[in-house]
């Protein structure tokens, strides 16, 4: 990957609907060259998928909860089972297996506090492998970013 690829990635992360013509003008390539590069970035898996980001405020009030989970024991079977379980809950937006005092950090979206209680019962309270969990309810969404920080000072990435 070179600086052109990095520029393409940076711009597509902010606006995936930008035309190849506009993108080419902005970075100094032809639309055809931009198309070829985007195709290669998709084929190599660097561009994983294209999605629509939904405006939560316009859909209604959702509760964002950051949950720290500590397992009773840390065998691979326990860790793998919990990871698989979280993937089956569409309210779990993100799940991180972490080093430190706890084993997992989850970002969960619920329709209401009552809905969050249902989630805790189904996902956490009924799991005999969970030692404890802590819930942090977000009071305000200060910043949410989906963009990977592209370092443009790199000449070539291999």
Q: Which domain holds residue 13?
A: 3-43
pLDDT at 158 over 50: no
- For 52, left (φ over 0), alpha (ψ -120 to 50), or beta? beta
Q: What is the mean pLDDT of the chain?
A: 92
Instruction: Determine, yes or no, domain membership for 152.
Output: no
Q: What are the residues facing 41 on neighbouring strands? A: none
Each residue's pLDDT tens digit, 80-121 = 999 999 999 999 999 999 999 999 999 999 999 999 999 999
24 and 92 belong to one structural domain: no
Q: Give this prediction's pTM.
A: 0.81
Quick check: 67 and 133 in contact, CB under 8 A? yes
Q: How many domains does the chain contain in total?
A: 2
Quick check: 11 and 23 in contact, CB under 8 A? yes
**pLDDT value of residue 28:** 96
**pLDDT value of residue 131:** 96
Instruction: Determine, yes or no, domain membership for 48.
Output: no
**pLDDT value of residue 153:** 64
């Amino acid at each position: 990957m070179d600086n052109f690829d990095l520029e393409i990635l940076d711009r597509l992360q902010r606006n995936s609907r930008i035309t190849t013509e506009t993108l080419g003008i902005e970075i100094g390539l032809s639309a055809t060259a931009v198309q070829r590069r985007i195709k290669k970035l998709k084929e190599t898996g660097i561009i994983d998928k294209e999605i629509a980001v939904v405006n939560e405020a316009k859909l209604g009030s959702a509760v964002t909860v950051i949950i720290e989970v500590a397992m009773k024991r840390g065998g691979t079977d326990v860790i793998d089972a919990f990871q698989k379980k979280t993937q089956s809950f569409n309210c779990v937006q993100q799940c991180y297996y972490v080093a430190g005092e706890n084993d997992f950090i989850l970002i969960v979206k619920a329709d209401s506090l009552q809905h969050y209680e249902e989630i805790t019962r189904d996902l956490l309270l009924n799991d005999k492998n969970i030692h404890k969990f802590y819930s942090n309810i977000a009071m305000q969404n200060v910043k949410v970013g989906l963009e990977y920080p592209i370092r443009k000072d790199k000449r070539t990435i291999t």
